[in-house]
Structure 1
């Protein structure tokens, strides 16, 4: 076990109901980069149905959708992260940085209390 490099996985649980964690944040990032829910899902090793379900869950929980999508077909479909989705990602990333940076001493203290490698 490497006590020098703990991993922080932020998981926000809302009564909406919504759990927003690193997986959904990564899905949003990839949709923004790739312009496609299916491509983002494939990149993460999940089916389109699963990726779409997560997008619907996030869109339903917020006052404005996080992802705007258009149907496929002859002209092709696509998806984009909305300004609300971009704001959610910015705040999520800021919280992760805050925990990592401001919590460094606490993380080190917890690590120091752990069993060492034998």
Structure 2
């Protein structure tokens, strides 16, 4: 998330694994919208394998599964966010909002005044 020239990126870790970050939150939203892990991955430009790895990481890092999947196509198949998935996604988006709001104060304004609009051409 950008606040003026500042990029604010919140990541939540479980041991050494990133349990939640902006990309995983986007993936949860896409799964909720698409009703399918593979369709969510396609929507976000991710490979099938990468999408499933991210879902597995999230499900292993939280106390309750965030995504439940029923393999195969057809009625009643696909994926959905669990109650925990909805709660984690909302709490993460709330955290992003709070960080953006906290970042928009005087220190950022002072830095912004010192920052160029665009970089100079490389000297090389």
Counterpart in 2 of 1:67? 67
Question: For residue 111 of structure 1, what is the aligned residue in structure 2?
Answer: 112
Rounded Cα–Cα distance in structure 1 between residues aligned with 2:59 and 2:96 = 22
- 1:115 CA displacement: 4.7
Q: Distance in 2 between matches of 1:108 and 1:14?
A: 33
Change (3 A) 1:48 1:116: closer
Other-structure match for 1:33 = 33
Question: How far 1:111 moved relative to its partner?
Answer: 2.2
* 8 Å Cα contact 2:38/2:48 also seen in 1: yes
Map Cα deviations across residues 64-88 of structure 1 (whole Å, 9 max, x no partner): 1000000105657310011101111
> What's the TM-score once normalised by structure 1's chain length?
0.84
Q: How many residues align?
A: 116
CA drift at 1:21: 1.0
Q: 1:114 to 1:74 in 2, by over 3 A?
A: closer
TM-score normalised according to structure 2 size: 0.80
- For residues 109 and 12 of structure 2, the distance between their equivalents in structure 1, rounded to whole angstroms, comes to 23
State how 1:81-100 maps to structure 2 within 5 Å: 81-100=81-100
Cα displacement (A) at 1:109: 3.0
Unmatched 5+ residue regions in structure 2? none
In the TM superposition, residue 114 of structure 1 has moved relative to its aligned partner by 3.2
Contact 1:41 1:47 in 2 (8 A): yes
Taking the TM superposition and a 5 Å limit, the aligned residue runs for 1:36-51 are 36-51=36-51
Q: What's the CA shift for 1:4?
A: 3.8
